[in-house]
Amino acid sequence: MKLKRRRKLVTYLGILDQPVKFNPFVFSRNFVLWALLGLLGGVIAGVYWITLEFLTHQFAFFTGWAVIPLMAFCGLGAGLIIHWIGDPGEIHLIVNNIRFNKGKLDPKNNPSMILSSLLCVASGGSLGPEAPMVQITGSTGTYIGKLCRLKGEDLRSMSIAGMASGFTALFGAPLGSSLFSLEILHHKHAVEYYKAIIPAFVASCFSYLVFALIVHLGLGPLWDLSAYQYSGIFDFAYAVLFAMVGAAFGWAFIFCAKFFKTLFEKRPIPIYVKTTIGGILIGIIAFYLPITRYYGHHEINELLSANFSLTLLIAILVFKIIAIAITVTSGWRGGFIIPLFFSGATIGLIIHQLFPSVNLTLAIVSCMAAINACVTRTPMSTTILLATLTGFGHFIPILFASLTGYFLAPRIPFIGSQMEK
């Protein structure tokens, strides 16, 4: 039976290898592969999201002082999973494999990534599900590419298309997510992998459809910002000034993360000890400042609707940056994009408290764009993502802010594998 199945598989793959005869369109068999990858990525992301939401609701019952032992226990559990099953790596490893490992993402890391990230994100760590989704869907693209005997740039494009489908499922922005999966791979040469742009677009669109069907995702902005009214050419200058402040806090986050990384790596200790210590520290911060718990997907709206004092906003900003840095460096698994958006929104609110005459929406969006572009080096996709997520219909001020954050970023990128080999 096994021999017959193998023969059938070889036959089917041989059929796929043949060009579509009498086809007058650009449509080809590659489109089918990209669409299939997007559909599969949407299903994977939908199942992951439903599981994450279920666990988050279960862990949400732990409030007050109970948050501290919960975070410590979940940190220990995530560390033991990584210790026993294997280290799935972080966004640094994903970028490194796409750039220097012929675009291959290893699916064997997925069980460890899924289990550890679900514990880390659902319990309230300051990292989001974007990195786990990208790892899982990107490695799925690698697997399908190998199954169809793709090589070289075609295989790399399948992996990137898989990554884009994972980004899209979380952000609900196919165009911005496709560009993000390309921009994040290199800190200077954004067009180096643009051969994968059409595969990424196709996979993202199909992933979005399936994910929206599974989780009942609608169209419209995710975060409720007040309407922005253009008041003149000086708005662009304000966007740049706000972005400079956001970039400064991008630097603060990078140095904070390096500081905690030095502390955690000062002595060789098991991964489950580091994750437990990280959980205790994050839990203490969440106990005193509950809004810093979780990665910010829903908390940004809470932040925008609440009327926090200036002192409390400064405390939220400082300890949120510390919480993200601890979560990143202590071995917890997840992504830091939405947590950085949360920090940027807090900076914008602080600026508005200090200078009530400035446009609140412009300040928030500019700071969100700048801090993310400063850390991730993705000005183009950050512009499109924020326009989609916030409903801010004017691209140009966001682009000014994103470029400001990008060009004021440290010379050595936070994601080290973005540099030249």
Q: Which pLDDT belongs to residue 190?
A: 56
Q: Which pLDDT belongs to residue 54?
A: 92
Phi, psi for residue 243 in degrees, rounded to 5 = -65, -35
Q: Which pLDDT belongs to residue 152?
A: 77
Nearest to 177 by CA among 191, 163, 196: 163
**CA 117/CA 78 separation, integer angstroms:** 7
The amino acid sitting at 130 is: E
pLDDT digits (tens, 9 = 90+) for 15-47: 555 555 545 555 667 788 888 999 999 899 899
pLDDT digits (tens, 9 = 90+) for 256-296: 999 999 998 888 888 889 999 999 999 999 999 999 998 88
Nearest to 251 by CA among 262, 239, 243: 243
Mean pLDDT by 10 residues, the chain (421 residues): 61 54 60 88 91 91 90 92 79 64 73 89 88 86 84 82 85 81 68 76 90 76 75 86 95 93 86 92 93 88 88 95 92 88 94 91 94 91 88 84 92 71 55
Number of residues that make up the chain: 421
The DSSP secondary structure of 347-404, one letter per residue, reads HHHHHHHH-TTS-HHHHHHHHHHHHHHHHH--HHHHHHHHHHHH----HHHHHHHHHH
**CA 307/CA 285 separation, integer angstroms:** 20
**CA 204/CA 318 separation, integer angstroms:** 35
End-to-end CA distance of the chain: 47
**CA 372/CA 338 separation, integer angstroms:** 9
Contacts of 357 (CB under 8 A, 6+ apart): none
**CA 168/CA 162 separation, integer angstroms:** 10
Q: Which pLDDT belongs to residue 325?
A: 93
Beta bridge partners of 128: 335
Phi, psi for residue 148 in degrees, rounded to 5 = -95, 10
Q: Which pLDDT belongs to residue 160?
A: 86
**CA 416/CA 418 separation, integer angstroms:** 5
Query: How far is CA 317 from each of CA 45, 252, 344, rounded to the nearest angstrom?
Result: 30, 11, 9
Task: Please state at what angle helix 234-264 crosses helix 360-376, rounded to 10 degrees.
Answer: 40
Nearest to 378 by CA among 155, 37, 95: 95
Q: Are 348 and 390 in contact (CB under 8 A)?
A: no
Q: Which pLDDT belongs to residue 228?
A: 73
Q: Which pLDDT belongs to residue 15?
A: 52
* CA-based radius of gyration for the chain: 21
Q: Are 253 and 344 in contact (CB under 8 A)?
A: no
Contacts of 237 (CB under 8 A, 6+ apart): none
Ordered alpha helix ranges (H), 233-334: 234-264, 271-288, 299-305, 310-329
Q: What is the pTM of this model?
A: 0.88
Q: Are 82 and 88 in contact (CB under 8 A)?
A: yes
